Structure 1
Amino acid sequence: MTDTGIDRKRLYFIGNLSIFMIGLGFAVRATIAPDLQADIYIPIDAATSATRLGEALGVTFTGFALTLLFGSALVDRMGMKAMLLLSALGYLAGSLGLFVATLMPPSGTVETIVMISLLLTGLGWGAVEAASNPMIAALYPDEKTHRLNILHAWWPAGIVVGGLAGVGLTQAELAWELNLLLLVLPSLLMAVLVATSAFPVTERVASGASYADMLRELIRRPLFWVFWACMFLTAAAELAPGQWVNIALSNIVGMQGILLLVYVSALMFVMRHFAGPIVSRISSVGLMFVSCLAAAAGLYLLSLANTPALAFAAATVWGIGVCYLWPTMLGIVAERFPTGGALAMGLMGFAGGMSIQFVLPRMGAIFDAAKLEAAGGAEQLAGLSPDAMAEVVRYASVESFQSVAVVPLVLLPVFAIIAIVDKRKSA
């Protein structure tokens, strides 16, 4: 405990718990996606069910992005405690609202309730990132990239727990709606811990920098906006396929896709603890270049996998690729633009969240269009036998994954140029 009443270990645990909670929520959404499609969206409109599902899942990322956009600018005034309490409330309300929606017969009203519930969950997710990232940067100013990677290792840890819980409920033949109650306990625990803890001020406040200084830091540094644009694509390569994996891979491989997501998440949990030594050897930007290369290869291989063994091999490549993308991008910005404070990291998260809001519906639209193409039209699709429908859906799943594989390739020349410029400056 420090003289100011700040217990760094306790706050680090709260940060890890908050990230664990949003990972758990991510796994729950991935687990229940096929059930939402089958029980709600197909009865409403079978031909556009994947598009509707993609839009609903994407709303979570909209809430996440909006909270980061405004919350990161307000966290200096509201304080980290208030922001984290709001996150717990968002997760509780969103989970319970979605649970209620699943108990109602499919209708436009139910679709609206699902949207609102997922939006609330997204607002809670954004509040976590708006508070936890600057909190860790303030607690560990000399090892930001390393500590942020460890913090975000608890994201895949939450996915592992949520994914295995979902598989367990399925194997036990229990109602899939029970997945929605998994978030209640960690949300309540976090609320209690946050309410009884003292929090530091952000780096911007501690340094005495004004809001004007923070804005000038970002406006006058064009490189920040380059990284901001890159965040759109790195997030798309990691989060969109992860949210879609249970639908697509279950159809391609014939196994529960969530198991593959659990495996990748366990891999990421371990690897993120070693970000510091890797960065010390090849630099943060160098790590981003290697990660994007592996992510592109893994996504393409995932679309081609037709057996569980090949799917796990492809997922390993993808997992290694996307492992460091999100936390390393935050670390780069925190180290290069410290005066930008919580706003800089919030804007990065906003870019990532809005990226998924656009990419998930696009994946759904590609999925639906490919189904219609393979079937020969909407009428033919409606009359397919179960075996024929399985082939059509498998083809659509491959198309939706391959559409995302090109995304990280676009970033390779960008990170290569930045790495070269950095090397020349340090020479």
Structure 2
Amino acid sequence: MDTVLTRTQLVAWRTAIFTIFFVTGLGFASWASRLPAVKNDLGITDLQIGVLLFVSGAASIVGLSLANVIVVRWGARRGMVATVIAFSLGLVVVGLGVQFLESYAITAVGLGLMGIGMSSTDVMMNVEAAAVEQAFERTLMPLFHAFFSIGTVVGAGIGVAMAAWNVGVAWHLWAMAVLVLGAGLISLRAVPTREVVLDDPATTTSRRERFAELLSVWRDPRTYAIGAIMLGMAFAEGSANDWLAIAVVDGHGETEAVGAVALTVFSVAMTVFRILGGPLVDRIGRVWTLRILAVTAGVGLVMFILAPSLPIAFIGVALWGAGASLGFPLGMSAAADDPAKAAASVSAAATIGYLAFLCGPPILGWISHEIGILPTLWIIVGLIVMSGLASGAAKPIAGSQVGVGHHH
């Protein structure tokens, strides 16, 4: 049985998982922010950059499946020690491949390691965050995801500075790897061993039974309904990260600088709403929050697509970011309602969400090549509508205090 934690232990646990979310975002953005330098140092084309991103995406999908196995085998806490090390090692190898060996193959290997390390850490940190949230009996998931967003903003900012000061990719990524590894491993020491996240090796269930549980959630219709909520919102979020700047330039004929500003507006709106989201959910409930935000995201995206002027496009971007902010974290939250199946359900929900996040942008890129970027964005409007219609599935199950609403 899980021991009752003191307030201090609970807060330390929450802070530790906040830190893991932050450093994962930081490490990821550090690599993404140096893509122009990577392209330059390796002397490669956009297509070859695309292949690298594909390797990273494919490895991430492998990492998702691996995370489920790791959680069953070792539990989330011990599992994260391994995956944080893999992620940091990936950053080191990428730096080595880009700057010192100037090897495309080594860079790809490093990205593969990063992808596996990051996505498997991602599933486990969400499993832990869901357990923290249930322990506090308050909606905290959006705040955890806000820390990831803040990590990406800080990572991108550091990347801009490093590029401006002509710091080599390797030195930059190695410094980040040390930071991710140090902060990650120190935080994990504050994470308690909990049966909920399958950490306790002495639990009664055998490994085979745990695997059976893991697979059984894929037969539960609620898993797919929550998946539908997350799918729409993961598309709305992932596509903005990859295509928003391009849509501003190619679709609305603005400069690249304006494109970068638009992406910043999107990220800030998203982060602010993730910080404010928890109290809102605890006031009006998870389902109504998701419905209102689906409308917000849909309206924002339509405004952006049809915008006759730049200010309207920017208002649209802000609404799109705000609206897309909570689908992913609240989907995770809903998946964790039943403590007995929390680890398996959160893993399943995370897998559906990340598949959309990783596969969405390339699919949209392929379509936009045929019909142009702005018309392509209507597909996301459709997915947001689907997400809004599926919102009812996120209703907290009997006995769960998280996301019910009317906390004061």
Per-residue deviation, 1:159: 1.8
Aligned counterpart for 2:95 among listed residues 99, 114, 121 = 99
Once the two structures are superposed, the pairs formed by residues 165-204 of structure 1 within 5 Å of their partners are 165-172=158-165, 180-181=173-174, 183-194=176-187, 196-197=189-190, 199-203=192-196
The 3 A distance-change label for structure 1 pair 216 and 170 is closer
Contact 2:13 2:192 in 1 (8 A): yes
Once the two structures are superposed, the pairs formed by residues 57-96 of structure 1 within 5 Å of their partners are 57-96=53-92
Partner of 2:223: 224
Partner of 1:288: 290
The 3 A distance-change label for structure 1 pair 404 and 182 is farther
Contact 1:234 1:325 in 2 (8 A): yes
Once the two structures are superposed, the pairs formed by residues 107-256 of structure 1 within 5 Å of their partners are 110=104, 112-143=105-136, 146-172=139-165, 180-181=173-174, 183-194=176-187, 196-197=189-190, 199-203=192-196, 205=198, 211=210, 214-215=213-214, 218=217, 221-249=220-248, 252-256=253-257
**CA distance in 2: counterparts of 1:321 and 1:418, whole angstroms:** 16
Partner of 1:393: none
Contact 2:230 2:387 in 1 (8 A): no
Contact 2:23 2:184 in 1 (8 A): no
**CA distance in 1: counterparts of 2:136 and 2:86, whole angstroms:** 31
Partner of 2:342: 341
Aligned counterpart for 1:327 among listed residues 326, 329, 350 = 329
Partner of 1:358: 359
**CA distance in 1: counterparts of 2:135 and 2:222, whole angstroms:** 22
SS of structure 2 residue aligned to 1:253: coil
Partner of 2:15: 13
The 3 A distance-change label for structure 1 pair 116 and 169 is same
Per-residue deviation, 1:113: 3.8
Contact 2:99 2:169 in 1 (8 A): no
- The number of aligned residues is 386
> Which runs of 5 or more residues in structure 1 are unaligned?
371-395
Task: Look up the equivalent residue of 1:239 and give its one-letter code.
Answer: G
**CA distance in 2: counterparts of 1:34 and 1:309, whole angstroms:** 29
The 3 A distance-change label for structure 1 pair 94 and 397 is farther
Per-residue deviation, 1:158: 0.8
Contact 2:296 2:319 in 1 (8 A): yes
**CA distance in 1: counterparts of 2:360 and 2:137, whole angstroms:** 29
Per-residue deviation, 1:78: 1.2
Greater shift after overlay, 65-74 or 10-19? 65-74
Task: Look up the equivalent residue of 2:30 and give its one-letter code.
Answer: V
Once the two structures are superposed, the pairs formed by residues 361-400 of structure 1 within 5 Å of their partners are 361-369=362-370, 396-398=372-374
**CA distance in 2: counterparts of 1:181 and 1:250, whole angstroms:** 33
The 3 A distance-change label for structure 1 pair 105 and 259 is farther
The 3 A distance-change label for structure 1 pair 161 and 368 is same
Per-residue deviation, 1:346: 0.8
Which of the pair is proportionally richer in helix?
1
**CA distance in 1: counterparts of 2:227 and 2:171, whole angstroms:** 38
Partner of 2:274: 272
**CA distance in 2: counterparts of 1:284 and 1:143, whole angstroms:** 16
**CA distance in 2: counterparts of 1:365 and 1:36, whole angstroms:** 23
Task: Look up the equivalent residue of 1:231 and give its one-letter code.
Answer: M
**How does the TM-score come out when normalised to structure 2?**
0.78
Q: 1:35-54: CA deviations, max 9, x gaps? A: 5567768x54x6xx3xx545
Task: Look up the equivalent residue of 2:226 and give its one-letter code.
Answer: F
Contact 1:291 1:321 in 2 (8 A): yes
Task: Look up the equivalent residue of 2:92 and give its one-letter code.
Answer: L
Per-residue deviation, 1:177: 6.8
Partner of 2:401: none
Per-residue deviation, 1:15: 0.9
Per-residue deviation, 1:317: 0.7
Q: 1:66-88: CA deviations, max 9, x gaps? A: 32333234324313333222232
Per-residue deviation, 1:117: 2.6
Contact 2:269 2:319 in 1 (8 A): no
Task: Look up the equivalent residue of 1:161 and give its one-letter code.
Answer: V
What is the RMSD computed on CA atoms of the aligned residues? 3.8
The 3 A distance-change label for structure 1 pair 96 and 14 is same
The 3 A distance-change label for structure 1 pair 15 and 160 is same
Task: Look up the equivalent residue of 1:343 and give its one-letter code.
Answer: A
SS of structure 1 residue aligned to 2:296: helix
**CA distance in 1: counterparts of 2:347 and 2:147, whole angstroms:** 19
Contact 1:23 1:158 in 2 (8 A): yes
**CA distance in 2: counterparts of 1:344 and 1:116, whole angstroms:** 31
Q: 1:295-332: CA deviations, max 9, x gaps? A: 23333444456876445322211111111111100011
Per-residue deviation, 1:32: 3.6
The 3 A distance-change label for structure 1 pair 415 and 54 is farther
Contact 1:218 1:224 in 2 (8 A): yes
SS of structure 1 residue aligned to 2:390: helix
